[in-house]
Amino acid sequence: MTQYFLGIDVGTGSARAGIFDGNGSLVASAKRPISIWHEAGGIVEQSSGQIWQAVCGSTREAIASAGISASAIAGIGFDATCSLVVVGADGAPLAVGPSADPDRNIIVWMDHRASGEAAEINAGKHEVLRYVGGRISPEMETPKLLWLKRNLPEQFAAAGHFFDLADYLTWRATGSLSRSVCTVTCKWTYLAHEKRWDARYFQDIGLGELAAEGFSRIGTDIVDPGTPLAGGLTQQAAADLGLMPGTAVGAALIDAHAGGVGTLGAADAAGHSDARNRIAYIFGTSACSMASSDRPVFVDGVWGPYYSAMIPGLWLTEGGQSAAGAAIDHLVTMHPAHAEASARAKAENLSLVAWLDRYATALCPDLPHAAELAKSVHVVPEFLGNRSPHADPGARAVIAGLGLETDIADLVSLYIAGLCGIGYGLRQLLDRLGQDGIRLDMIVASGGAAQSDLVRQLLADTANLPVAIADTPEPVLLGAAMLGAAAAGYHPSLAEAMKGMSRLSRLFQPATGAVETLHRHRYKAFELLQSAALQVRLLARAGP
């Protein structure tokens, strides 16, 4: 019987399931929406119970669509956003915010309620912060735990387990309390290269009880991604998912890291597949950029180096932005023509951004020249701060060069300028990595916001590096399925699954000549505007 592998991805807005064969070909997929609550004070929450229901619904639909039996699924892998899940000792959800609703038991990755705690931790200059670019982000878990302890002490004390969402899902599926080295190293300050938590760090920041408990509530068994967990699916989880008890489940990945696993090992036309020469760029609601190396490289303002956090045995350096696709979505709704464009997009059953992409491509089918559509408009799209290389959560967007135009052509200029700004942010990260010895020759792009040829070409031109596309419509789901293939033993290791289940399909080369010059000048303008915005903020803080 042919064996298949199930990848389950929980993003910010949906849970998705994809079924792949052993060569990495997608057989079927399905998705379900998940709820999200936004409140004042940077609060963003979700429900683990509702997410599990969405996971089960999408899995059952994907199996039905594939027309295969449950017994044909040989392995399962999960990935998810790096959100904090809080449950009691009995596994019941606990409220994590002022709503006091226990169903809202997840502090979402983009929740910035712990910005003050993050700043306080950073002031301590703790040794572990070397491994997060020198400054911890409010999107990481220890500032959120500190906020929870201070603001909801009873809930903090009652918590039996604090999970990263990906680890919660494998626990829900198998009963295993093992944590993935990916989650705890990248978001919780676990020192994977030394195989330990730093007790002094937790004591110094005010979370000493976690150390005193032996870290039992945040993880004592840390394993590589793709490691088979417990006895596979429990009876209850199998019934929920419509699968067979005992089906192999691999230790999970953060969603962006699954995209890296699903693309970085892909062989090119010559059969080359060295992940160490490539950077994975996952362009979705946020943007994540991940490079792997044989040795640890410390880059100020860039997360990592993290040992074995994505590819076992390699050091991961991780950059990106908190708002990328979300920044473009927000940007285009600010223009006076957005209502007219939205109506036209709706009539064609397209999102506004997809419609603008098509419109811009029709205006300039010679894609390397598309940046000329931006005209005088320049955008630094840091609506939710700068994650890297400046590690500045207080940064905000800058838009320059606007006139009184209110037509769709001017909206297109804003859209293209926004995409260029995303690309220049990536170029800035690549420059910083290169200065510290991480030199790369290819960007492997994936994610929902990187599906168009216009976006891919603009990324190549703005970053001045070739952009490759993996031969799969669902690279994140494929990365998750690779975890299942490794856990089931179909491939002997995750690295072998990466080579055996992915290939590159297309390559977008950066433009030369006048177009290259245009982007070099616009990149300088990007950095000038970014610097000016910082100076303005410093002046505002200075007071009278």
The 3-state DSSP class for residue 324 equals coil
Burial class (CB in 10 A: 0-12, 13-18, 19+), 372: middle
Q: Is residue 59 domain-shared with residue 151, that is, in the same domain?
A: yes
Q: Is residue 343 domain-shared with residue 194, that is, in the same domain?
A: no
Q: How far apart are CA 1 and CA 19, in angstroms?
A: 15
Q: Is residue 75 domain-shared with residue 186, that is, in the same domain?
A: yes
CB contact at 8 A, 422 and 287:
yes
| CATH code of the domain covering residue 146 | 3.30.420.40
Q: How far apart are CA 74 and CA 416, in angstroms?
A: 44
CB contact at 8 A, 142 and 120:
no
Q: Is residue 230 domain-shared with residue 350, that is, in the same domain?
A: no
- Is 302 inside a domain boundary? no
**Other C-beta atoms lying within 10 Å of the C-beta of residue 365:** 10
Q: Is residue 37 domain-shared with residue 183, that is, in the same domain?
A: yes
- Is 503 inside a domain boundary? no
Characterise 61 by phi-psi region: left (phi > 0), alpha (psi -120 to 50), beta (else): alpha
Q: Is residue 329 domain-shared with residue 249, that is, in the same domain?
A: no
- Is 230 inside a domain boundary? yes
Q: What is the pLDDT along the chain (544 residues), one digit of tens a residue?
A: 799 999 999 999 999 999 999 999 999 999 999 999 999 988 999 999 999 999 999 999 999 999 999 999 999 999 999 999 999 999 999 999 999 999 999 999 999 999 999 999 999 989 999 998 889 999 999 999 999 999 999 999 999 999 999 999 999 999 999 999 999 999 999 999 999 999 999 999 999 999 999 999 999 999 999 999 999 999 999 999 999 999 999 999 999 899 999 999 887 777 777 778 899 998 988 898 999 999 999 988 888 999 999 998 999 999 989 899 999 999 999 999 999 999 999 999 999 999 999 999 999 999 999 999 999 999 999 999 998 999 888 899 999 999 999 999 999 999 999 999 999 999 999 999 999 888 899 999 988 888 899 999 999 999 999 999 988 889 999 999 999 999 999 999 999 999 999 999 899 999 999 999 999 999 999 999 999 999 999 998 876 6
Q: Is residue 46 domain-shared with residue 129, that is, in the same domain?
A: yes
Q: How far apart are CA 274 and CA 250, in angstroms?
A: 23
Say which DSSP state 452 is in: S
- Is 244 inside a domain boundary? yes
Domain boundaries, position 69? 4-253
Q: Is residue 115 domain-shared with residue 210, that is, in the same domain?
A: yes
Q: What is the pTM of this model?
A: 0.87
- Is 282 inside a domain boundary? no
**What's the number of domains the chain is made of?**
2
| CATH code of the domain covering residue 532 | 1.20.58.2240
- Is 33 inside a domain boundary? yes
The contacts of residue 17 (CB under 8 Å, 6+ apart) are 6, 7, 8, 9, 29, 30, 31, 55, 58, 59, 61, 62, 477
